[in-house]
Amino acid sequence: MGSLPQETFNPLDPSTFTKESYAVVDFIADYYREVEQYPVRSRVEPGYLRELLPDSPPCSPQSIETILEDVRNDIFPGLTHWQSPNFYAYFQANASTAGFLGEMLCTGLNTVGFSWISSPAATELESIVMDWMGKMLKLPNDFLFSGGRGGGGVLHGSTCEAVVCTLAAARDTALSKTGGDGITKLVVYASDQTHFTVQKASKLIGIPPSNFRAIPTASATGYALTAESVRSAMEADVANGLVPLYLCATVGTTAAGAVDPLLGLGQVANDYGVWLHVDAAYAGSAGICPEFRHYFDGVELADSISMNPHKWFLTNMDCCCLWLKNPSSLVESLSTNPEILRNKASDAKLVVDYKDWQIALSRRFRALKLWVVMRRYGTANLMKHIRSDVSMAKYFQYLVSTDSRFEVVVPRRFALVCFRLVPVGGGGDDDGWDLNCRLIEAVNSSGRAFMTHAVLGGMYVLRFAVGSTLTETRHVEATWKLIQAKADDIYKDLTLSGLSSVAAQ
């Protein structure tokens, strides 16, 4: 048979590409203009979208205009708007023009840089950008490729991936001494404030869930770990025939922005031969400002450190930086060398093959995104950006302090303020839990702001995380007034119904 293929269909025709991409750019620009007006937290009911969309995909093509109209009419109401200036929930995912441009380049070139040869620039730019970022954070040379001592970094999609991979490296190093049966003896340490991703990752790589230690923290240390508590836990495990494996310390915890003391924890980790990982997912970005760098003192004792530019470094989702002093242990654990990927450069061990530094084979050219962000803004503006958010958080903290019904409940370290309504008369049985639940729900259901909560030492706390790119001081002020007004309403209701916190005692 030698018949030629049928008529072609060209989904990468450059002029259609340009025309339709412009339309989407315009659509997104309009979104940024209008996003302030949308309810921040979506108000839809579960299942809303299945009512609106057809059961099956269309047989014939539809125009981009039709699709964008449906995005506006059907999707927008179901969005919780992370780019709203009034989004103060979780930690932000701050978008930027440069982050978007970098992502466009990555998506447009659409390379898959698993091995060096599969797109050398993807690997090399990633190594360079990891060194750039490491230098901005003043990481010890041991973590940089340019340090020349075998260290280096990689871009993952999330902290969880970074933790899974470093845990696997630590586990396999340990098992190479004990044999495979030893896996049931290995113990992983974190605090009760550590991101739950560490517990999930620990279970994922086969550590028995009973061998995960969430060491309690207390308000006295601002919910940070203490070296003493970790040492005691390790001592007790060793006495019971278990093997301490891995300790995760956090700079900027999710609930309260707490900072674990790296220097003390590093000494304990080194004493017990434990892998120390530093999770700076959120606060890592602040490390570029000299005034925050002291929180990283002691990182020189760690084996690995990760931070997420997709949280607070103007880099659109997803982007997580992981540096290691000894990536060879990671590669040892994760490498595969199938014939189908064999090539001269890899065989000669002249190059980094990032497939061996991560879970998956496939990988996107994420380095372009971080590179464009760093270059388009420059370190001066990036520091300005961090300082502006911290400054707005400070201002919010000040506003809270002007209203005696409220209190700030933990020391603010970065751009997160944890506060609450003080229970009237010293608190009821629930220490103001219900009161603050009502307040946050009133604020969130207004659509005019979105905050999330945490529970610290049994106390229900409201988190005000500043960091959405579009947030300005006027938004912080307006949200504070909204919070005060909702508190007024709640107290009025309580008085009317006679069910005040005092009465409930």
Query: What backbone phi and psi angles, to 5 degrees, belong to 279?
Result: -95, 105
Binding of residue 329 to a second copy (CB under 8 A):
no
CA distance linking residue 462 with residue 150, whole number of Å: 44
| List 37, 177, 181, 239, residue binding a second copy (CB under 8 A) | 181
| Subset of 362-381 contacting a second copy (CB under 8 A) | 362, 364, 368, 372, 374-381
Quick count: other Cβ atoms within 10 Å of Cβ 425? Answer: 12
Q: Per CB under 8 A, does 415 bind a second copy?
A: no
For residue 424, give the 3-state DSSP assignment. Answer: helix
- Is-cis flag, bond preceding 389, omega within 30? no
Is residue 454 a contact point for a second copy (CB under 8 A)? yes
Give the Å distances, CA to CA, from 174 to 179, 246, 330, 473.
8, 10, 13, 51
Q: Which is nearer to a second copy, 234 or 461 (CB)?
A: 461
Q: How many CB atoms lie within 10 A of CB 106?
A: 18
Size of the site for a second copy (CB under 8 A): 174
Output the smallest distance, CB 290 to a second copy, in A: 14
Calpha distance 451→468 (Å, rounded)? 12
Q: Which of 73, 78, 176, 218 binds a second copy (CB under 8 A)?
A: 78
Q: Does 26 engage in binding with a second copy (CB under 8 A)?
A: yes
Q: Under the criterion CB under 8 A, does residue 199 sit at the interface with a second copy?
A: yes
Order across the sheet with 416-421: list the strands: 406-408, 416-421, 459-465, 452-456
446 binds a second copy per the rule CB under 8 A: no
The least distance separating a second copy from the CB of residue 447, rounded to whole angstroms, comes to 14
Number of other residues whose CB lies within 10 A of the CB of residue 17: 13
Considering beta carbons, is residue 420 or 453 the nearer one to a second copy?
453
Non-local CB neighbours of 208 within 8 Å, separated by 6+ positions: 184
Among 36, 71, 478, 484, binds a second copy (CB under 8 A): 71
By the rule CB under 8 A, 143 interacts with a second copy? no
Q: Looking at this protein, which amino acid is placed at residue 451?
A: M
C-alpha separations of 60 from 21, 56, 63, 132, 149 in Å? 21, 12, 10, 48, 58
Residue 148's region, left for phi above 0, alpha for psi from -120 to 50, else beta, is left
**Is 150 one of the binding residues for a second copy (CB under 8 A)?**
no
Q: How far is the CB of 265 from a second copy (least distance, A)?
A: 22
Among 56, 240, 404, 497, binds a second copy (CB under 8 A): 56
Task: Provide DSSP, 401-414.
Answer: HTSTTEEE-S---S
For residue 296, the minimal CB distance to a second copy (Å) is: 18
The residue (of 60 and 497) whose beta carbon lies closer to a second copy is: 60
Binding mask 416-445 for a second copy (x = CB under 8 A): ------------------------------
Q: How near is the Cβ of 104 to a second copy at its closest, in Å?
A: 5
What residues numbered 467-496 form the site for a second copy, per CB under 8 A? 469-470, 472-473
Residues 206-225, mask of contacts with a second copy (x by CB under 8 A): xxxxx---------------
- Residues within window 113-142 making contact with a second copy, judged by CB under 8 A: 116-122, 124-125, 127-128, 131-133, 135-136
